[in-house]
Amino acid sequence: MKISQKEVLHVAQLARLDIADADVDRLADQIGTILDYVDTLNQVDTTGVPATSHAITLTNAFREDQAQDHLDPQASLANAPEKEDGAFVVPKVL
Amino acid sequence: MWCPRYSDAALTNWPSFYQAVIPQETDAMKLHELTIEQASGLLKNKEIGSVELTRAVLDRIEAVDGKVGAFLTIDADGAMAQAEAADHRLARGDTVPLTGIPLGIKDLICTQGLRTTCASKMLENFIPPYDATVISRLKKAGAVIVGKLNMDEFAMGSTTEHSGFQTTRNPWNLDRIPGGSSGGSAAAVAADMCLGALGSDTGGSIRQPASHCGVVGVKPTYGRVSRFGLVAFASSLDQIGPLGKTVADCAIMLDAIAGHDPKDSTSVPEPVPTFAAIADDGLADVVVGIPKAYSAAQGLDPQVGAAIDRAVKTIQSLGARCIDVPLPHTDHAVAAYYVIAPSEASSNLARYDGVKYGFRDKSQADLLQMYRSTRSQGFGPEVQRRIILGTYALSAGYYDAYYGKASQIRTLIKNDFQTAFASCDAIVSPVAPTPAYPIGKTLDDPLTMYLSDIYTLSANLAGIPGISVPCGFSDDGLPIGLQIMGRHFNEPMLFKIARQFEKAANIKDKRPPL
């Protein structure tokens, strides 16, 4: 198999996803099939070919450092699952 | 600016193509069946009002959306208020072509105060605190937003079955997919539940559902339309565009939304022509490329192939010269795309962590476990599959072999188009290899679904514009679309060819049997 169950679980951990035991097999299988297909890219010799990350090349878009209207704190927090005193609340970190 | 072609004189002297659909009596009109071009003329002449037009559209939604399932949110009150405001504006004569026109919006474009879900449980209750730039521009034009349209979750899919909430059905055959990911947008336009809609296209997500639902869809050049307020899937590929009943309607909508936006650093400061001023001078000076690689592609349905051959003959009969173009790296586009798009997605979707907005599993006391539990419950299976695929492709030890390699192939695909466009003005091809297939067919077979994007996703990798225009029907009555692709920022060429093809092909004014 192209990608092992162990690798699927490792990548899921990196991506902060829990994969149910019952789904690991199927996921490894489906992703393995896709990766096998992706391997057809190796038929192409790309020695010396530059990479393209954006089709339209733009240099940095600079602007003047001027104060502009932005969301007020209340609007920024409006969709937060938990908030308190104008801040996002998260479970204990330490 | 209001296009001069639509003067009052023009309204009483429609091209013959439209004669069949021009309502003769105001009281007998089915207002929801109007094109934007027609409705706009009637509104401007005060023959109808936006309130009655919007009411007709809302009634139509009420009547048929139970069968189609295109809308996730219907904003009837908001729409009627916008329609009243538009009528005041129309009374003052302060009009642009979209003033008072009811439109639908794919549910990944932020609408201030109106729920925007991306068809994901993750954003089920998300109320955007701001408008996307395209929405600000539509509102400025006086358009009426009737609601938000279903899609594959986070735009990941080609069928709209991967919505976290509901399956949208193809109005032409309710057992078939509408295509995706902008399946709600295409189905709503096809079923006359809005006069036009916005979608987004990352690998074909506007063009393919437009083809399957028998409407026109445009993916503009990358950077032509601001992505500010578009929920990101794959940032180097995503582009917002219109879906409409006619080529002219799409041009009118693109006029309203295109142009540089300082809030999107990838939006391009290129001059924007008036797209609705479509050149109508034949195709004698046009050279059209036919990609050899596309007709050799596996899985092309013979009926689609025949429809495209007929379309090419029609385009030739209008004066265009057709040449073969090679596009030698076409076979590798799907593989490159399904590395690049999931890689970008895995990074973009890292923001859904249950902290700032969206769903959170509140039962978890540990931060890391809260992230994991929230994301596993909030994202559907296709989204999780792509996050894992993308994370794998970007992870240590695999980056060069996957993302690096795919990015080099992307260069070769881009160069293929550059070479082709040195000898032609546009490239025509199928949009999808088959007509709309049955619901459920690829649900557990992602690779087969991905392979159906073969004709569309190269345009996203290369950043070029593409349009899908109806060119026929299969034997069992399913629409087939023709794709026309052009050089960067040459949408006017696409509109010119598509509009003249649309007129010449004279596809009968068939409507879905709803």
DSSP B191-240: TTSSSEEEEEESSSTTHHHHHHHT-EEEEPPTTSB--TTBPPSSTTT-EE
Is residue B199 situated within a structural domain?
A: yes
How far apart are the C-alpha atoms of B186 and B212, rounded to whole Å? 8
- Residues in chain A with CB shorter than 8 Å from the CB of B359 are 81
Is residue B248 situated within a structural domain?
A: yes
How far apart are the C-alpha atoms of B61 and B385, rounded to whole Å? 34
Is residue B70 situated within a structural domain?
A: yes
A54/B346 Cβ within 8 A:
no
Question: Which among B372, B392, B443, B488 is the top mutation candidate for probing chain A, defined by the most A β-carbons within 10 Å of its own β-carbon?
Answer: B392
Q: In DSSP terms, which residues pair with B176 in a beta bridge?
A: B438
Cβ atoms of residues B261 and B216 within 8 Å: no
Residue type for position A61: A
Eight-state DSSP code of residue B111:
B
Residue B205 annotated in active site: yes
Cβ atoms of residues B187 and B153 within 8 Å: no
Tell me how many domains chain B contains: 1
Per the structure, the complete domain to which residue B165 belongs is given by 8-257
Is residue B467 situated within a structural domain?
A: no
From A2's Cα to the closest Cα of chain B, the distance in A is 12
Q: Please identify among residues 319-348 of chain B the ones whose CB lies closer than 8 Å to any CB of chain A.
A: 329, 331-332, 334-336, 338-339, 346
Q: Does A60 touch chain B (CB under 8 A)?
A: yes
Is residue B247 situated within a structural domain?
A: yes
- Residues in chain A with CB shorter than 8 Å from the CB of B373 are 18
Tokens coding B66: 């139970």
Is residue B104 situated within a structural domain?
A: yes
Cβ atoms of residues B342 and B387 within 8 Å: yes
Is residue B289 situated within a structural domain?
A: no
CATH code of residue B216? 3.90.1300.10
From B163's Cα to the closest Cα of chain A, the distance in A is 19
Q: Which of B512, B442, B423 is nearest to B212 (CA)?
A: B512
Eight-state DSSP code of residue A41:
G
Residue B407 annotated in active site: no
DSSP B310-365: HHHHHHHHTT-EEEEE--TTGGGHHHHHHHHHHHHHHHHGGG-SSSSSS---TT--
How far apart are the C-alpha atoms of B191 and B211, rounded to whole Å? 14
Chain A, nearest residue to B131 by Cα: A71
Supply the pTM of this predicted model.
0.94
Q: Please identify among residues 258-317 of chain B the ones whose CB lies closer than 8 Å to any CB of chain A.
A: 262, 265-266, 268
Q: Which of A17, A91, A4, A88 is nearest to B383 (CA)?
A: A17
Per-residue pLDDT of chain B (514 residues; tens, 9 = 90+): 233 333 333 333 333 333 334 444 444 579 999 999 999 999 999 999 999 999 999 999 999 999 999 999 999 999 999 999 999 999 999 889 999 999 999 999 999 999 999 999 999 999 999 999 999 999 999 999 999 999 999 999 999 999 999 999 999 999 999 999 999 999 999 999 999 999 999 999 999 999 999 999 999 999 999 999 999 999 999 999 999 999 999 999 999 999 999 999 999 999 999 999 999 989 999 999 999 877 766 789 999 999 999 999 999 999 999 999 999 999 999 999 999 999 999 999 999 999 999 999 999 999 999 999 999 999 999 999 999 999 999 998 999 999 999 999 999 999 999 999 999 999 999 999 999 999 999 988 888 888 889 999 999 999 999 999 999 999 999 999 999 999 999 999 999 999 999 999 988 678 999 9
From B404's Cα to the closest Cα of chain A, the distance in A is 7
Q: Distances from the Cα of B82 to the Cαs of A31, B48, B74, B129, in angstroms?
A: 47, 16, 14, 19
Give the sign of the dihedral formed by CA A10, CA A11, CA A17, CA A20: negative
DSSP B123-134: GTT---SS--HH
Q: Please identify among residues 208-267 of chain B the ones whose CB lies closer than 8 Å to any CB of chain A.
A: 221-223, 236, 262, 265-266
Is residue B392 situated within a structural domain?
A: no
A63/B391 Cβ within 8 A:
no
